Structure 1
Amino acid sequence: MTIPAVDLEFTDLSYTAGRRRIIKGISGSFKSGHLTAIMGPSGAGKSTLMNILAGYRTAGVSGVINVNGEPRRLAVFNKSKVYIMQEDLLQPYLTVREAMQLSSRLKLGPEHTEQYKEGVVDEILETLGLTKCQHTFTDNLSGGQRKRVSVALELVDNPPILFLDEPTTGLDVVSINNSVQLLRLLANQGRTVVCTIHQPSASLFSVFDRVYMIAKGKCIYQGVPSQLVPFISNATGLECPQTYNAADYVFEILQSNVIELLCDSIQNGKIIRNGEAAVRTLEYRKNQYEDSSKITKTVDILPMAAFSMNYPNSFWRQFTLLFARMMLQKRRHVLGIWLQIIHHVLSGFLVGIIFQKVGNDASRPFDNFKFCLCVSVFFMYTHCMIPVLTYPFEIKVMKREYFNRWYSLKSFYLAKTLSTLPFIVPLGVVFIVIVYVMSDQPLELRRFAWFATYCLLIALTSEGLGVLIGFTFNCTNGTVVGPSSMAPILMLAMHGMGYGEAIHPAMLQLLKASYLRFGIVGIITALYLDRTMECSDKEEPICFYKDARLIVRDLAMEGEETAPQLIGIIFYLILLRLLAFFSLRYRCTTEFNNTILVYLTKIIKRR
């Protein structure tokens, strides 16, 4: 089957953010088989219009948007379109073919065989000229190659509508021409291809079938490129010099009065300027797209009405594929693995040397408490800061895949959560064994097991805090929020050292606000309860802390037991993970972000 024709039309479309009206009652249409460029000066509303038409922004939007003459249903429309962002964000540590294979397995359901999916990958790579670099890692691709790979990843299920935000930004002249010719090919195959572009060259400008120009939120031209100069001349009386690029010229004359004249002449997008020769050219291109199509020979496309609102694969299939990809990427990140190994081993020996032989010395009980605190802080800072620094970038890549319906957020989040365990647990155990032995803690399996359990729980809970921060803030803000969040957690965890029974009951309740407190109490009680210690200084007449229960008392932990602390720290572990998921969910929901910005704007203006 061929690609279904999808025509997108909009009438009296407006968008208001707070009190500012960004899009002002524009109209227009984008046809199948056409390559359409949305153009305009900076701040004109190009990206806003693109986001509205792609369905990523609906709050504050008024007007009518139709698909094939019927009101747009976002649930169906989202399945039929892809949005390729301005940044060519690709998954690292994967080859081009591996990235394509994963895309085909996620975007094509189980009704297709693996052989069929491989055939789709081969044909797309050949069509887009990526066969020679199919075994190259994505990090080593040139700018033009990355742009083509970004497009190729979204073509495996052959979407009928493509939106591209500034696809030529950052490319050289050759790469720009190749990218636009690629879009020309995709449009010839029957797709509706819409892209934003700033100021194209004269030769590039003529490649587009339609141009939609916008300035100050109003449509100032819609039609074929060849009719732009005559339209300006008729509407304003201004003549474009023969040596000028029409795209440059129109931006030079955009004064307020000229914008109004152009907007009135085109009726804010309700009129389409097509010359007779241009109409014949467009019809010819539309009739020729089946002959130039290679991808459609392999991929079957359903009619628009038959598009499923569900993901092509089940939750567990998505999780399996994502988990396998994440593990492969982690294994290939050799430098990162070695850095973590060196960090854990060197830190273990450093802590072991500082607190050597304090574990069974009744004359140094508070030194041993500092040891427990130091180990807890190591696991907290190590595993909290890693996601704070790395997850903001991963979210950008994930949002591209999620918005184009590769997988659900639940499957991604579960895979992301479990993919860290094979590294946190073994490396954590290595560190724990080193410090436990060097500090001369009691060599009892039960005590060691509790010690290791609470250390690893602190690591996993701290990672949950880091994931929450990494999902919520960018890298710059996260580096501020991370340490600022951990500081009060640490202060509450260590409060009470030497206070004994003098600590206020209300303060005891406040200490439970720190998950690290539960971990430290669990570690202390595991090491000290039901135990007799020895004094290293034999000349001391009285070994006061020989009875380890006194140490627990003076640390304001009297009456606490080891096992019940599990409930508290597991509660925070689950809570932070849930909050991180909801943060991810709202981060990927543009409506939530827009609503928050609107409310903040109103509050600021009222003040």
Structure 2
Amino acid sequence: MIPAVDIDFSDLSYTAGRRRIIKGISGSFKSGHLTAIMGPSGAGKSSLMNILAGYVTAGVSGSINVNGEPRRLATFNKQKVYIMQEDLLQPYLTVREAMRLSSRLKLGPQHSEQFKEHVVDDILETLGLVMCQNTFTDRLSGGQRKRVSVALELVDNPPVIFLDEPTTGLDVVSINNTVQLLKLLASQGRTVVCTIHQPSASLFNVFDRVFMIATGKVIYQGVPQQLVPFLSSAAGLDCPEHYNAADFAFEILQKNVIELMTDAIQNGRTIKNGDVATDIVERRSLTHSEMDSSRITKTVDIPPINTFTMNYPNSFYTQFMLLLSRMMLQKRRNVTGWWLQIIHHIISGFLVGIIFVKVGNDASRPFDNFKFCLCCSVFFMYTHCMIPVLTYPIEVKVMKREYFNRWYSLKAFYLAKTLSTLPFIIPLAFLFIGIVYPMSDQPLELKRFSWFAGYCVLIALTSEGLGVLIGFTFNCTNGSVVGPSSMAPILMLAMHGMGYGLSIHPIMYWVLKFSYLRFGLVGIITALFLDGRRMECLDPEEPICFYRDAKLIVRDLSMEGEETAPQLIGMIFYLVLLRVLAFLSLRYRCTIEFNSQIVGYLTKIIKRK
């Protein structure tokens, strides 16, 4: 049996910056009912949903009760799920694979694999997804994607389901099917609350309760069939016959009408329930057993919520391994992306090799060899920085849904995400290096090659960390600007000193430390040219082979006194620093309150100017 969870709130207000969005409203959402939060754009529907779901607490006043007791977020978070407006699903997985992973993450090790498979089968059958269970999620229709989004969150049998605009972007048939699905879930004893803009007349009457708000105030709460009589008694407005009551209610929303409706419904303290108006205070004394038993239909056989479980059903290690296996499977199935990367590295390798062919041992072309090292460094920096800049913002949206619904911790996700790229970055790096290193005639010594390859890989990993930081912080549009803008000064500092020799300013010596690419480039240069390296002048017209002693090249590149191994400290420092900053950025981006505070601060600054 699904545990009954009734939610009521009173005198609820919410202020973001200087704007008061929610204005002292009250309301009640009952288990076994499908409730629609309705209102015009900017009325405060999404803000109310975020507050009730527990994602926003800053700037909120009033009381929220669960089953008559003050809401405890630690417990409530395990009882509710939030299905967002965008049906973002994990790519390159079939419906069954996505469901299977959801069951393993959300049910925990106390249940057998056989039981988890039974849960998956039961939900797929109940939601009508058996026919598409082996279809990849990116090939589903809009209605099927919405059903899968709901199915993924049902495996642990949540008693409370919040949905943000579940009918957006769907056709009429899909909308009706989606609402009927929500009706079924509510009839099993769940508290189902969704926001919806303006439903059709037939759809409006399907809901058990409607909660209508305008300008942050409640204008109606109760059964849909009582809306027309309420408009007539509260504001003296008669809805035309055969007219959609929801459309009519929003069309007549003038300031004076809103005030009349708010006063009549006591800003949500009264519920129009049939022929009588029930006060919320009286309603709190009702128990779930008083609900009409005829409303309870088929119940999915899933274990009830245990409010004393840990924050996550599985250990950190289990979360990490499940996420890592999923990410590796997705990368393997992304054949197009995999081949694009291979072709990119091969073509770029041959282009660099042709441009700098035979410069590695030519003492008459020392600065061409420096350009070769710089070119390789820039290749790894731009290639591995821009990929997460362009792809991670979309992945964060998908991750948010799973994280907010308590599938796994951010630490497990971030560690799995970080390690999942290594099996692909390192082989691709050696593919590129294996082409350019012999074509440019660099010394075929294991020690020098190892240092060269090692620093190239470190540049790639550190640059990926920079890209992850940008991808987690900005959207694709802004990230595509911030990415190159961030790499430009890093590149300028890395190549500073070419031809300066010993005349480089002492201050610049320390300024250069702010570029991780500088550490990598110094490591590559010193690995190739120090330790007694002797070069040949391949140009017969060169009268004096000045750079036969390769350490002179290091000197004229303002790198004299540098050594290969110590550069590892700088590279590792930036590698760790950027990864830590990326994790903090991800954590803050997943905190709605943080985003709201930033917007509020920016608004204050702009208004002051």
**Shared topology, TM-score over 0.5?**
yes
Match of 2:579 among 577, 580, 583: 577
Give, as a single letter, the amino acid of the residue that structure 2 aligns with 1:533: M
Residue 542 of structure 1, CA deviation: 1.6
Give, as a single letter, the amino acid of the residue that structure 2 aligns with 1:389: L
Give, as a single letter, the amino acid of the residue that structure 2 aligns with 1:590: I
The answer for unaligned runs of 5 or more in structure 1 is none
The alignment partner of 2:305 has SS state of coil
- Contact 1:125 1:131 (C-alpha < 8 Å) held by counterparts: yes
Distance 1:578 1:286, change over 3 A: farther
Give, as a single letter, the amino acid of the residue that structure 2 aligns with 1:292: K
* In structure 1, distance between residues paired with 2:250 and 2:564: 72
The alignment partner of 1:242 has SS state of coil
Partner of 1:336: 337
Residue 383 of structure 1, CA deviation: 0.1
The alignment partner of 1:24 has SS state of strand
Residue 415 of structure 1, CA deviation: 0.3
Does residue 537 (structure 1) correspond to residue 545 (structure 2)? The answer is no
* In structure 2, distance between residues paired with 1:278 and 1:61: 28
* In structure 2, distance between residues paired with 1:393 and 1:219: 35
Partner of 1:23: 22
The alignment partner of 1:13 has SS state of strand
- Note the 1:110-259 alignment, pairs <5 A: 110-259=109-258
Give, as a single letter, the amino acid of the residue that structure 2 aligns with 1:302: I
* In structure 2, distance between residues paired with 1:130 and 1:228: 36
- Contact 1:106 1:407 (C-alpha < 8 Å) held by counterparts: yes
Partner of 1:6: 5
Aligned residues: 599
* In structure 2, distance between residues paired with 1:276 and 1:126: 39
Residue 285 of structure 1, CA deviation: 7.3
The alignment partner of 2:213 has SS state of strand
The alignment partner of 1:463 has SS state of helix
Does residue 494 (structure 1) correspond to residue 490 (structure 2)? The answer is no
The alignment partner of 1:273 has SS state of strand
Q: Answer with 419-428 or 536-545: which moved more.
A: 536-545
The alignment partner of 1:291 has SS state of coil
Distance 1:521 1:355, change over 3 A: same
Give, as a single letter, the amino acid of the residue that structure 1 aligns with 2:174: S
- Note the 1:244-283 alignment, pairs <5 A: 244-276=243-275
* In structure 1, distance between residues paired with 2:271 and 2:122: 36
* In structure 2, distance between residues paired with 1:377 and 1:230: 71
- Contact 1:469 1:478 (C-alpha < 8 Å) held by counterparts: yes
Partner of 1:96: 95
Distance 1:59 1:33, change over 3 A: same
The alignment partner of 2:134 has SS state of coil
Give, as a single letter, the amino acid of the residue that structure 2 aligns with 1:495: H
The alignment partner of 1:211 has SS state of strand
Match of 1:588 among 565, 587, 590: 590
Give, as a single letter, the amino acid of the residue that structure 2 aligns with 1:231: F
Partner of 1:288: 294
- Contact 2:187 2:297 (C-alpha < 8 Å) held by counterparts: no
Residue 109 of structure 1, CA deviation: 0.7
Partner of 2:284: none
Does residue 393 (structure 1) correspond to residue 399 (structure 2)? The answer is no
The answer for unaligned runs of 5 or more in structure 2 is 279-287
Q: Deviations over 1:414-460 (max 9, x none)?
A: 00000000110001001001100000000000000000000000000
Residue 538 of structure 1, CA deviation: 3.0
Partner of 1:548: 550
- Contact 2:157 2:305 (C-alpha < 8 Å) held by counterparts: no
- Contact 2:17 2:597 (C-alpha < 8 Å) held by counterparts: no
Residue 278 of structure 1, CA deviation: 11
Q: Deviations over 1:241-300 (max 9, x none)?
A: 112010111011100000000000000000000115999xx999741344322x1xx211
Q: Answer with 247-256 or 587-596: which moved more.
A: 587-596
Provide the alpha-carbon RMSD of the alignment: 1.4
- Contact 1:46 1:214 (C-alpha < 8 Å) held by counterparts: yes
Residue 541 of structure 1, CA deviation: 3.0
The alignment partner of 2:562 has SS state of coil
- Contact 1:224 1:278 (C-alpha < 8 Å) held by counterparts: no
Does residue 420 (structure 1) correspond to residue 426 (structure 2)? The answer is no
Match of 2:303 among 300, 305, 311: 300
Partner of 1:366: 367
The alignment partner of 1:506 has SS state of helix
* In structure 1, distance between residues paired with 2:583 and 2:297: 47
* In structure 2, distance between residues paired with 1:302 and 1:153: 16
* In structure 2, distance between residues paired with 1:179 and 1:12: 32
The alignment partner of 1:79 has SS state of coil
Percent identity at matched positions?
Answer: 80
The alignment partner of 1:292 has SS state of coil
